[in-house]
Amino acid sequence: MPRYIRITLGSLLLLLGIAGLALPLLQGLLFIILGVLLLARDIPLFSRIATQFRKRFPRISRAAENTRRRIKEWWMKSWFRNR
């Protein structure tokens, strides 16, 4: 994924997360965490936050990594199957 798409999508997720803290329908914390994890690759501040999160919650980090790996495998299979 290109850098500008990651930064745009991560920023939108952060904004949704901040709005979700005040609105009852959105899961604010979930969107904030997703935004931080997406921005961690490009922005050092978010990289440090993501590293601290991974150290503090290793079980959640392992589950997220397994999910990311499975999605990537599924995406690659479907990408090459459709080509």
- Total domains present in the chain: 1
- Which pTM was predicted? 0.69
Structure tokens at 44: 């050092």
pLDDT by 10s per residue, the chain, length 83:
788 988 999 999 999 999 999 888 878 888 888 898 889 989 999 999 989 988 999 998 888 888 888 988 887 887 666 66
Report phi then psi at 2, rounded to 5. Answer: -65, 155
Structure tokens at 63: 């589950």
Q: Tokens 């993501």 — which residue?
A: 50
User: In which domain, by residue range, is 32 found?
Assistant: 3-81
